[in-house]
Structure 1
Amino acid sequence: MTNKPLYYLLLITLLIVYGCSNTKYLPEGDMLYTGGKVTVKDTLLSKKERKAMQKEMEGLLRPKPNSNVLGLRFKLYIYNLAGEPKKEKGLKHWLRTKVGEPPVLFSQVDLDYNADILQNYSENRGYFKTRTSADSVSKARRATAMYTVTTGPQYKIRNVTFPVDTLSKTKDSTNLILEKAIARSSRRSLLKKGDPYNLDVIKQERERIDNRLKNRGFYYFSPDNLLVRVDSTVGKNEVDLKVIVKNETTEKSKRVYTIDDIIIYPNYSLTSAEKNEKYPADSIQRYKDFKIIDPDSTFRPIIYDRTLFFHKGDTYSRRDHNLSLNRLINLGTFKFVKNDFKLSDTISSKLDVYYYFTPLPRKSVRVETLAKTNSANYNGTEVNVNWSNRNTFRAAELLTVSVFGGLEVQVSGQNRGYNVYRVGGETSLIWPRFISPIHIADSSAFVPRTKALVSYEYQKRMKLYALNSFRGQFGYLWKDNIREEHQLNVMDINYVSPANVTAEYDSIAFGNTALQRVVQKQLIFGPTYSYTYTNTMQKRRRNTIYYKGSFDLAGNLTGLLTGANVKKGDTINVLGVPFSQYAKMEHDFRHYLRLSEGSQLASRIIVGVGAPYGNSGELPFIRQFFIGGTNSIRAFRARSIGPGTSRADVDANSFLPDQGGDIKLEMNTEYRAKLFSVINGALFVDAGNIWLWNKDPSNINAEGVETARVGGEFSNKFLSQLAVGTGAGLRVDLSFLILRLDLAFPIRKPWLPEGNRWVFDQIDFGSSAWRKENLVFNLAIGYPF
């Protein structure tokens, strides 16, 4: 207690010294610009509305002051501390140019310019009687710009008039057609009676009308052809808006166009464009509405029929225009895709469409070296060799043959020394269309795909066992839009066979049913489906989400036909292996809340349920849920939690067996903030556990010890059985790679007696024994979610 005043005095002194050090390097006679403050004076606005308006206006002020955290300008301090480097390399140069930030001087601030910006902003939002003034205050060589904005009343929209109200019989037919099309679009107008006047909304309305007209055939129309007249004299603080077509609009812009000829150049060369169009007449192939100039028959015409939305006689539509381009690009076959619309030589109201495609090399070989990390705290490397044929059957089919090999090592955790080696291969064939006896219509911008895959993997877990895994899939992938994606595997077959099981593993697995199942043959077959929705690509949104739901139905039809019932001992084999029968679903929901330009709050909840029945008493090991590790609950070793309140009690020199379950609940939340340069920080809390659907069977091992995972089954006490951990971390964001370092520790241990599971009172960073038992370091690549 006696040292606290001294501590506070020292802290205050350091802050004062720190602050002074940032001003003593300033040019003589200048001051450090600390930012601008806007005060909005308006008696009609609520306090909340005024604050929001002031914040938005302050974001318009230029220049921006030096960045600060809690009032401390670390980047400026580092800039001054580094000094002027003598050469353009080395630590000083890096600190000054990459980490540091030069001072923003008050002499760089133009008060009048900023005042004009605020004036324009106010008037563009309907405050036509705004008065703006600017001043500044300074102290200790620091200056703040002060702006006062007196808005006055905001003008509201009284009436909105579209051309339908002013149609004249004296106008020519093209004018009438255009104005009628504009009038028909008024139903969804952004300009609403009673709304505040807003120039940005008027601009958006012009864009909306133009987009509507483009989808009605007005190819040459432009938003600049529209004028919105504003009359502010019609009433007290009210305006009338009138949408009109400018007099100088050309006849070409007023006309509706239809599609005439569709000409396709599938082998277009960017380096010799003139030569591309000089093919002999007999090289032109006609297929439905298309003229195809492809003397080498590189592609079958079927791909154009499935990707192009235009047909001869169609009215031009920007929607179909963009959909066609998007689908062509998504084929993954063309390096460049370009199209051009030209007036027809025969009829003035028709357009000829020209498509120019530059194909990618048909065959290619790619070698990849990857750095990998997974939720089991294993880090390693993998080498992939991929051979691809992008036009296997001349309809943009993608055939890929891959071989791979890798090594994974646990950096921290009990499984050090039990390294994992993986080798294998995979062959897949993707058709850019649905291959189905049922015709499925598709009109999205994304090409639907049918995929067939066969793969083999040999996985060797040193000193324990090896697994041979064979897999075959046939299914469909499609996207409704950029946010939604579906994957349906009509058939997904997985066969796993063990090999080279060691005596060490046998001795530990003896009498332990859960460990024995890991090295048993497994046969899984049935349909799987997943749905993904995300809008995280919309960077300006304050709230974004990610959701993935998956469903897995294995062996259900076979179990129904054979009457398999493991509880009665009626287990059915297929090819000498008991097939798995279960229904499983998993839901992964993530929410991202942007708090500021450099910080966000990320949260995730995962709920998974697998119900084994019929031929199975629990989920097969490779389909079970696991929890803990670098991408899960980071305060606990990978796959070491649960199920339920059970805990694996193994020798410290032995490996830690994976703990799997049939039910999973996991919750995570993480605060992320930019610290400086490429360094980001994070604070996080994780919680969750796994459980068994059925009670673990009782077994006695060689030492006469009960091996059943007591307390592992799911019950109504599941919330009291959650493991909880917290910690902090750093992320090194190199754009092409994010290196993550997390340090975490548990604050709730589910295996302890009920009432003693919270362990806040045991936290002791000064104790080496506590640190050894509880601190968990995670090294990973990428964000956990």
Structure 2
Amino acid sequence: MKMKIKINSRFLTGLLWLVMMAACSTTKHLPEDELLYIGTPSPKIEGYNPEDEGEATLEEVQGALNVAPNNSFFGSPNLRIPFPLGLWVYNRFERYEKGIGKWIFKKLAADPIYVSTVNPETRTKVASNLLRENGFFQGNVTVKVDTAKNPKKAKLLYTIHTGQRYKLDSIYYVGFFGKADSLIHKTYQDRILKKEDAFSVNKLDEERNRLIELFRNNGYYYYRSDFITFLADTLIRPGYVNLKIVQKQNIPEDGLRKYYIGKTDINLIGYNGEQPEDSLNFHNFTIHYAGEKPGIRYGVLRRRFLYRSGETYSQVRQDYTQQALSRLGVFKFNDFKYTPRPGKDTLDISVNAMFDLPYDSELELNVTTKSTKQTGPGAKFNLSKKNFKRMGASLNLELSGSYEWQTSSTVDGESSVMNSYELGAALSLNFPRLILPWIRNRVDPFRFPSETNFKIYAEQLNRARYFKMLSFGGTVSYSFQPKRSIKHTVTPLHLAFNTLQNRTARFDSIANANPMLFHSLDDQFIPSLTYTVTYDNSYRKKKNQIWWENSLTSAGNVTSMIYAAFGQKFSTKDKKLLGTPFAQFLKYSSEVRFLHNISEKQQVAARLMGGVIWAYGNKTIAPYSEQFYVGGANSIRAFTVRSIGPGRFHPANNASYSYVDETGDIKLEANLEYRFRILSNFLGGNLNGATFLDAGNVWLMRKDEARPEAEFSLHNFFDSIAVGTGVGLRYDLSFLILRLDFGIALHVPYETGKSGYYNIPRFKDGMGIHFAIGYPF
């Protein structure tokens, strides 16, 4: 038997190149007094007591010590790629001043990182200061330069000695002038520094900033942070700090003077730089503008200013005013300048505001793959007109569309292609304030963002060989925040209309076999109102953060009450609106998210959500668009969207209605995710990882003969829960998070022919890959 071997010449050349490079020394051209830095192992920590809760400080200290060496593995200070190509090229081609050698050097060489450039002595001083600034007053960091393996290469071995962490004992406020002292005592419960807290320079700065803000909110415009200092004594009680917060002496007179608002001048600059030529004045409030009239209505602009002439100056009112102007979405920037009147306690305000471009647009492209074996491209285009009719409102036009084709070779056993498409258009008018007849005061009664949105829309869905559906409607919604942590959204009017068009004989035959499923697609009006309340304490940046949202929707009940007022019973069926039956249901959903910050680089996130919809009276089957579903990138990630449920029911691939998405009247879902840092400062962001566990399903409220075991039941409840696990990557750029999740199914709620809890027939059948933007919860 003969064997013929053909060797590629390019492969031999590449292999020879690697052998030659490997023979090169990475220290050949090092200066005599330099050492090549090859990494920093995890530092040794001595004297640390976990009860001191100094993990965050230790992470910060290690961050000051860590430096990535040459050929680092994704920025690691310790892990290195075994082939230092950049250093090989540097040592081999450093002598070339022109030609191909110079080109190779410029493109591939990496400058060697020396121990001297890492500067370990300075780093130990910085790290030691970080320890002391966080209460480890006896702490210090030392370094040893390790050249044991190679006299020209060195590792830096750091030792962190923490010692005891000091806590706060007595806290006194000393030397503040009368009004300031009164304000401090009045807000004593809001202080940042408290007895038994760990000493922290950052906390001292936070308390100083709190005092500055307190004084500036009460008229003391020129009060500055350098007017306050701290005196600490660690000798009175071992392990504790006795602290005095002291106002300095000889503060300038302006710093102790209370100021009041004078006149306000606003200079409106055009988006092409047009300067004001005319003005409009009313009660010490003057608008300077270019053109025949102001680019924004006087009343719209005036309502954004949360003060009047003669009122006490307040820093918080200034901040809210600037935020209110920014939320208009009209100005590119707005600058405030305060000028005191000579010898008086009055501040005049000058504002320069430049208009932004009047139009904004956005195009989004995507490719969708559904559990119905259909895939295809989609697009969404949004065009916004800012400052519509000079009202500070935004007029938005959204156009969307998608086209899908069957990816399997047959449909219902026939060799054919089933194409579908969706087209949609929406027009909305958004006001950054509440538009209500009884709110006539100068501003909304809430200092946090509020919104009013009016919207009309139309959508066309085509299911080739089955039906077309036309949906259109409109909404009016309000959202407001009486507190930073609480948001209310009220939609007093949502009127939708769904109508089936061009029903085929095939569709009608399927509908006759499964009437309960297809009645949800019947022609109907959906007049509803919704109230949603959201609690979110994440702005406090606590170790444990909670987000909780509850939503209640009522459909058709107001309409039924009108019928009842004219003598028809509330429970009467077949009531119509404009000749079409309307839906009648109650829908409640709740979702709670919990985030536990183990450290800056590790978090545990959990979510529990559920919902129920009860259709009754006029329509005993909830509209398809209102029903619940699970699966997808933000749900149970081992499964595609709407591919699980209801209950233990699952349509066979060859079933006559297998193309219909799987939805239900009841939903339960739980998610648990552990998030951890893989690499910091990776290509301008952080590379994070995650492991997760997802579980949930949807069920029907009523029994459906065509879909056995689809209704909710405590019998075999846990077997009816779909479960999946998986791993993921998150690339965090702070302003954008790219997410890739790989889900693995562990259990499906229906029979698969495989016994045991892990009932996935083949491993590849239980895999789901999702690419998304943002965290799933």
For residue 435 of structure 1, what is the aligned residue in structure 2? 435
Kindly provide the CA deviation profile for residues 307-335 of structure 1, in whole angstroms up to 9, marking residues without a partner as x. Answer: 11111111110000000000110011222
What secondary structure sits across from 1:35 in the alignment? Answer: coil
For the 8 Å contact 1:552–1:583, the answer to whether it is kept is yes
What secondary structure sits across from 1:473 in the alignment? Answer: strand
For residue 304 of structure 1, what is the aligned residue in structure 2? 301
CA positional deviation for 1:600: 4.8
CA positional deviation for 1:433: 2.9
Closer/same/farther in 2, CA of residues 336 and 110 from structure 1, 3 Å limit? closer
User: What does residue range 289-688 of structure 1 map to in structure 2 within 5 Å?
Assistant: 289-294=284-289, 296-344=293-341, 348-362=344-358, 364=359, 366=361, 368-371=363-366, 373=368, 380-384=376-380, 386-408=382-404, 417-439=417-439, 442-480=444-482, 484-534=486-536, 543-562=544-563, 570-593=573-596, 600-651=603-654, 655-671=658-674, 682-688=690-696
Aligned sequence identity (%): 27
The unaligned stretches of length 5 or more in structure 2 are: 1-21, 94-98
What CA distance in whole angstroms lies between the structure 1 residues aligned with 2:85 and 2:674? 30
For residue 146 of structure 1, what is the aligned residue in structure 2? 158
Closer/same/farther in 2, CA of residues 53 and 390 from structure 1, 3 Å limit? closer
For the 8 Å contact 1:626–1:659, the answer to whether it is kept is yes
User: What does residue range 203-242 of structure 1 map to in structure 2 within 5 Å?
Assistant: 203-232=205-234, 240-242=242-244
Kindly provide the CA deviation profile for residues 717-772 of structure 1, in whole angstroms up to 9, marking residues without a partner as x. Answer: 33331122334456677999877665544322222399956126x6665xxxxx4x
Check if 1:749 corresponds to 2:729. Answer: no
Q: Which amino acid aligns with 1:422?
A: E
CA positional deviation for 1:198: 3.8
What CA distance in whole angstroms lies between the structure 2 residues aligned with 1:54 and 1:711? 55
Q: Which amino acid aligns with 2:144?
A: D
What CA distance in whole angstroms lies between the structure 2 residues aligned with 1:208 and 1:723? 50
For 1:251, which of 237, 244, 253 is the aligned residue?
Answer: 253
CA positional deviation for 1:396: 1.3
Closer/same/farther in 2, CA of residues 562 and 298 from structure 1, 3 Å limit? same
Check if 1:121 corresponds to 2:130. Answer: yes
Kindly provide the CA deviation profile for residues 450-498 of structure 1, in whole angstroms up to 9, marking residues without a partner as x. Answer: 2221111111123322110111111212244665443211110110111
CA positional deviation for 1:692: 0.9
For the 8 Å contact 2:168–2:194, the answer to whether it is kept is no
What secondary structure sits across from 1:116 in the alignment? Answer: helix
Q: Which amino acid aligns with 1:243?
A: I
Q: Which amino acid aligns with 2:713?
A: S
What CA distance in whole angstroms lies between the structure 1 residues aligned with 2:50 and 2:394? 60
For the 8 Å contact 2:166–2:239, the answer to whether it is kept is yes
CA positional deviation for 1:102: 8.8
For the 8 Å contact 2:434–2:444, the answer to whether it is kept is no
What secondary structure sits across from 1:635 in the alignment? Answer: coil
Closer/same/farther in 2, CA of residues 531 and 420 from structure 1, 3 Å limit? farther
CA positional deviation for 1:50: 7.5
For residue 157 of structure 1, what is the aligned residue in structure 2? 169
TM-score w.r.t. length of structure 2: 0.79
CA positional deviation for 1:439: 3.1
CA positional deviation for 1:302: 1.5
Closer/same/farther in 2, CA of residues 669 and 219 from structure 1, 3 Å limit? same
What CA distance in whole angstroms lies between the structure 1 residues aligned with 2:231 and 2:364? 62
What secondary structure sits across from 1:266 in the alignment? Answer: strand
User: What does residue range 692-711 of structure 1 map to in structure 2 within 5 Å?
Assistant: 692-696=700-704, 698=705, 708-711=706-709
What CA distance in whole angstroms lies between the structure 1 residues aligned with 2:674 and 2:409? 26
Check if 1:782 corresponds to 2:773. Answer: yes
What secondary structure sits across from 2:43 in the alignment? Answer: strand
For residue 6 of structure 2, what is the aligned residue in structure 1? none
For the 8 Å contact 1:565–1:613, the answer to whether it is kept is no
What CA distance in whole angstroms lies between the structure 2 residues aligned with 1:748 and 1:437? 55
What CA distance in whole angstroms lies between the structure 1 residues aligned with 2:105 and 2:500? 57
Closer/same/farther in 2, CA of residues 542 and 693 from structure 1, 3 Å limit? same
Q: Which amino acid aligns with 1:424?
A: G
What secondary structure sits across from 2:81 in the alignment? Answer: helix
Tell me which moved more, 73-82 or 600-609. Answer: 73-82
User: What does residue range 26-175 of structure 1 map to in structure 2 within 5 Å?
Assistant: 30=36, 32-35=38-41, 37-41=43-47, 45=49, 54=58, 57-63=61-67, 76-77=81-82, 80=85, 84=89, 106-126=115-135, 128=137, 133-137=142-146, 139-141=148-150, 143-147=155-159, 149=161, 151=163, 154=166, 156-163=168-175
For residue 726 of structure 1, what is the aligned residue in structure 2? 725
What CA distance in whole angstroms lies between the structure 1 residues aligned with 2:692 and 2:408? 20
Closer/same/farther in 2, CA of residues 24 and 692 from structure 1, 3 Å limit? farther
For 1:714, which of 708, 712, 715 is the aligned residue?
Answer: 712
CA positional deviation for 1:222: 0.7
For the 8 Å contact 1:127–1:152, the answer to whether it is kept is yes
Tell me which moved more, 402-411 or 515-524. Answer: 402-411
Q: Which amino acid aligns with 1:299?
A: I
What CA distance in whole angstroms lies between the structure 2 residues aligned with 1:529 and 1:425? 25
For the 8 Å contact 1:226–1:244, the answer to whether it is kept is yes
CA positional deviation for 1:269: 7.2
Q: Which amino acid aligns with 2:424?
A: G
Kindly provide the CA deviation profile for residues 88-127 of structure 1, in whole angstroms up to 9, marking residues without a partner as x. Answer: 9xxx999989xxx998665544443344334433443455
What CA distance in whole angstroms lies between the structure 1 residues aligned with 2:728 and 2:408? 16
For residue 12 of structure 1, what is the aligned residue in structure 2? none
CA RMSD of aligned residues (A): 4.4
CA positional deviation for 1:607: 0.6
What CA distance in whole angstroms lies between the structure 1 residues aligned with 2:645 and 2:498? 25
Tell me which moved more, 635-644 or 468-477. Answer: 635-644
Kindly provide the CA deviation profile for residues 554-599 of structure 1, in whole angstroms up to 9, marking residues without a partner as x. Answer: 0112334546999998332222322111110122333445566666
For the 8 Å contact 1:470–1:494, the answer to whether it is kept is yes
What CA distance in whole angstroms lies between the structure 1 residues aligned with 2:285 and 2:364? 44
CA positional deviation for 1:372: 5.3
CA positional deviation for 1:635: 3.3
Tell me which moved more, 256-265 or 193-202. Answer: 193-202
Q: Which amino acid aligns with 1:720?
A: D
What CA distance in whole angstroms lies between the structure 1 residues aligned with 2:612 and 2:111? 55
Q: Which amino acid aligns with 1:496?
A: N
What CA distance in whole angstroms lies between the structure 2 residues aligned with 1:93 and 1:600? 43
For residue 701 of structure 1, what is the aligned residue in structure 2? none
Tell me which moved more, 479-488 or 580-589. Answer: 479-488
What CA distance in whole angstroms lies between the structure 1 residues aligned with 2:272 and 2:279? 20
Q: Which amino acid aligns with 1:552?
A: T
Q: Which amino acid aligns with 1:252?
A: D
What CA distance in whole angstroms lies between the structure 2 residues aligned with 1:591 and 1:357? 41
Closer/same/farther in 2, CA of residues 663 and 143 from structure 1, 3 Å limit? same
Closer/same/farther in 2, CA of residues 55 and 497 from structure 1, 3 Å limit? closer
For the 8 Å contact 2:37–2:69, the answer to whether it is kept is no
CA positional deviation for 1:421: 1.5
What secondary structure sits across from 1:315 in the alignment? Answer: coil
CA positional deviation for 1:385: 5.0
Tell me which moved more, 440-449 or 570-579. Answer: 440-449
What secondary structure sits across from 1:219 in the alignment? Answer: coil
For the 8 Å contact 1:22–1:77, the answer to whether it is kept is no
What CA distance in whole angstroms lies between the structure 1 residues aligned with 2:654 and 2:523? 27
CA positional deviation for 1:350: 0.4
For the 8 Å contact 2:576–2:582, the answer to whether it is kept is yes
For residue 5 of structure 2, what is the aligned residue in structure 1? none
Q: Which amino acid aligns with 2:749?
A: P
CA positional deviation for 1:500: 2.1
For the 8 Å contact 2:754–2:761, the answer to whether it is kept is no
What CA distance in whole angstroms lies between the structure 1 residues aligned with 2:600 and 2:264? 47
What CA distance in whole angstroms lies between the structure 2 residues aligned with 1:403 and 1:711? 40
For the 8 Å contact 2:56–2:600, the answer to whether it is kept is no
